[in-house]
Chain A
Amino acid sequence: MNSRILTARKALSLTTLLFFWLPIGLFSLLLVYNTIPYFDFNPHLPFLEERKVLYDKPVWRISFYIHIAAGSFCILTALTQFSSWILKKRKKIHAWAGKTYVFVVLLLGAPSGFYMTFFAEGGAGERICFMFMAVFWFYSTYKGFVAAVREKNFLSHKFWMIRSYSMALTAVTFRIYHIIFFVNGMGHFQNYSISLWISVIGNALVAEAIIFFQSKNYLKTLTA
């Protein structure tokens, strides 16, 4: 292959690492770090004080703690999954981290999140958005897992896992948008609503764009 093309590829991967994976990794770690105070089980934290009515419900309370623990696990395990070095050299790490991710999403993260969407902040639109997110997160993870384990179709597995990760990352991108709009002086409710929609639809579109450029037949990736 032409050495110029190789250099351009290296430059592109380095740029992606610096401007995509590095901020994503840092913000993911920050998100996990911010969930630590909740494991003190203190109901007087601002987020829980606002939801005191819900916190008094045992099902919501349990779902909340399961969801934040599962979310932290998902984000940490998913960070390793897109590394080409781990995929090539350390396949066992990929397999174990992947199994942990799938187990946590399907059994804990998505069901607890889906229950909590009925009481999510915002109007009916925001709740529907959260519901879509929970269901699509579950479905894409399920499809990705089935594609790898049962069908041995690793290309389909890759595409479905990109979709799944895009939904998991909404927790990170939502906070980034929320901070940006807050700095620009937007009101809390408006900021919350816009950040939520942009993060869910934006992440889904970015994932679809990545799949579109990587696949030969895009429509086939949706059905495979």
Chain B
Amino acid sequence: MKLILIPSIIGMVAAGVYGGIDMYTDVCSGTMIRYNEGQPQQTSETKKTAGQKQKLADKIKPELKQPVQQKASIDSSEFKVASKVKKIEWFSEEIYSRGDPEIYLRPVDEVVLPAPEQTDSTAIVSASTETVSDTLSPKE
């Protein structure tokens, strides 16, 4: 009988002491277990909702594709307009004040910017120099 009783009493005391020390060290180190309220139910619920989410996503996917494509086309057209608007912004009145006034009256979409006339001006310059050179040529 003593063979059972003495080890059992020692075991019980040891369990209490070791458990107390173990809990104390956990509390001091901040590693004490914290149970989340309703976790078992939550896990089953999340599993459910995850499944439902997938089903819902599968259902919505084809319907979502169309608006996405539409949006892409709208975006591209908007991008075109925006690029034109940018060009208009760059289109300074000071530079082109002497140009055709009709471009200010035309709607944005129809505006086609004229190419910079730098080549023409150089041509004019070269032409003028040519004329000068022509006039001052030693041939004559």
List chain A positions with a Cβ less than 8 A from chain B.
Answer: 46, 50-51, 53-54, 57, 59, 63, 102-103, 106-107, 110-112, 114-119, 121-122, 135, 138, 142, 145-146, 149-150, 187-189
Contacts and interface: CB of A to CB of B under 8 A. Distances in A.
A127 to B, nearest CB: 9
A114 B37 contact: no
A189 B37 contact: yes
Nearest to B16: A114
Given A110-B12, A111-B12, A121 B4 contact: no
Contacts, number: 76
Nearest to A138: B12
A54 B32 CA distance: 9
Contacts of A51: 33
Given A119-B23, A188-B41, A107 B33 contact: no
A50 B20 contact: no
A106 B11 CA distance: 8
A118 B4 contact: no
A7 B11 CA distance: 49
Given A103-B4, A117-B19, A138-B8, A111 B39 contact: no
A32 B1 CA distance: 29
Contacts of A117: 19
By Cβ-Cβ distance, the 9 closest A-B pairs, closest first, are A106-B8, A188-B38, A118-B19, A111-B11, A115-B15, A118-B23, A111-B15, A189-B37, A115-B19
